[in-house]
Amino acid sequence: MIDDATVPAGDDALFDLIKTLAELPGPTGHEDAVQDWVADRWSALGDVRRTSVGNVLVRVGGKGSRLVLAAHADEICLVVKSISDEGHCFLWPYYADRLGAPPRWFMPASQPALVVTGTGTVPAIIATASGHVVGGQGSRKERLEWNDLFVDLGAETRAEVEALGIHPGCRVIWNPPTRRLGTHRIVGKAMDDRVALAIATLVGERLAGRDDLTHEVWLASTIQEENGLIGASSLADEERFDRCVAIDVGLTGDIPGPDRRDFPCRLGAGPMLVHQDSSAHYSGRFIRELVATAAGAGISVQQAIFQNYGSDGAEALRRGMETALLTYPTRYTHSAIETVDERDVLACVELLVAFLVA
Read off the pLDDT of residues 313-339 as tens digits, 9 standing for 90 and up: 999 999 999 999 999 999 999 999 999
pLDDT averaged over every residue in the chain: 93
pLDDT band at 7 (very low <50, low <70, confident <90, very high): very low
Among 174, 203, 231, identify where a domain stops.
174
Within this chain, do residues 59 and 195 fall inside the same structural domain, yes or no?
Answer: yes
| pLDDT value, residue 91 | 96
Residue numbers of the domain that contains 281: 4-75+189-356
Instruction: Decide the pairing of beta strands 150-152 and 171-174.
Output: unpaired
* Residue 181 included in any domain: no
Within this chain, do residues 213 and 333 fall inside the same structural domain, yes or no?
Answer: yes
Within this chain, do residues 69 and 127 fall inside the same structural domain, yes or no?
Answer: no
Within this chain, do residues 135 and 195 fall inside the same structural domain, yes or no?
Answer: no
Within this chain, do residues 274 and 331 fall inside the same structural domain, yes or no?
Answer: yes
Q: Does the global pTM surpass 0.85?
A: yes
CATH number, domain with residue 193: 3.40.630.10
| pLDDT value, residue 134 | 75
pLDDT band at 2 (very low <50, low <70, confident <90, very high): very low
CATH number, domain with residue 150: 2.40.30.40
Tell me what percent of the residues of the chain surpass a pLDDT of 90.
87
Within this chain, do residues 65 and 113 fall inside the same structural domain, yes or no?
Answer: no
* Distance, CA of 192 to CA of 172 (rounded, Å): 16
Residue-wise pLDDT for 24-43, tens only, equals 999 999 999 999 999 999 99
Burial class (CB in 10 A: 0-12, 13-18, 19+), 284: exposed
| pLDDT value, residue 131 | 75
Residue-wise pLDDT for 244-270, tens only, equals 999 999 999 999 999 999 999 999 999
Within this chain, do residues 259 and 276 fall inside the same structural domain, yes or no?
Answer: yes
Question: DSSP H helical segments within the chain, as ranges?
Answer: 12-22, 32-42, 158-163, 191-207, 235-238, 284-297, 313-318, 342-356
* Residue 90 included in any domain: yes
Mean pLDDT of the 158-187 span = 97
Within this chain, do residues 135 and 153 fall inside the same structural domain, yes or no?
Answer: yes
Vertex 35, ends 31 and 41: CA angle to 5°? 155
Within this chain, do residues 14 and 94 fall inside the same structural domain, yes or no?
Answer: no
* Residue 63 included in any domain: yes
| pLDDT value, residue 1 | 45
Residue 8 has pLDDT above 80, yes or no: no
* Distance, CA of 238 to CA of 220 (rounded, Å): 11
Residue-wise pLDDT for 120-142, tens only, equals 999 999 999 887 777 665 556 67
* Residue 184 included in any domain: no
Instruction: Find the helix or strand (DSSP H, E) in which 125 lies.
Output: strand 121-127
* Residue 140 included in any domain: yes
* Residue 323 included in any domain: yes
| pLDDT value, residue 136 | 61
Other Cβ atoms closer than 10 A to 257: 6
* Residue 179 included in any domain: no
| pLDDT value, residue 5 | 43
Pick the closest to residue 336 from 80, 87, 125 (CA basis): 125
Q: Residue 126 contacts by C-beta under 8 Å, 6 or more apart in sequence?
A: 78, 91, 108, 109, 110, 111, 113, 149, 150, 151, 172, 174
Among 174, 198, 232, identify where a domain stops.
174
191-207 and 32-42 helices cross at what angle (nearest 10)? 10
Among 174, 197, 229, identify where a domain stops.
174
Residue-wise pLDDT for 100-110, tens only, equals 888 888 888 89
Q: What's the number of domains the chain is made of?
A: 2
Residue-wise pLDDT for 84-101, tens only, equals 999 999 999 988 888 888
| pLDDT value, residue 330 | 98
Within this chain, do residues 251 and 349 fall inside the same structural domain, yes or no?
Answer: yes
Within this chain, do residues 213 and 291 fall inside the same structural domain, yes or no?
Answer: yes
Within this chain, do residues 334 and 286 fall inside the same structural domain, yes or no?
Answer: yes
Beta bridge mates, 304: 274
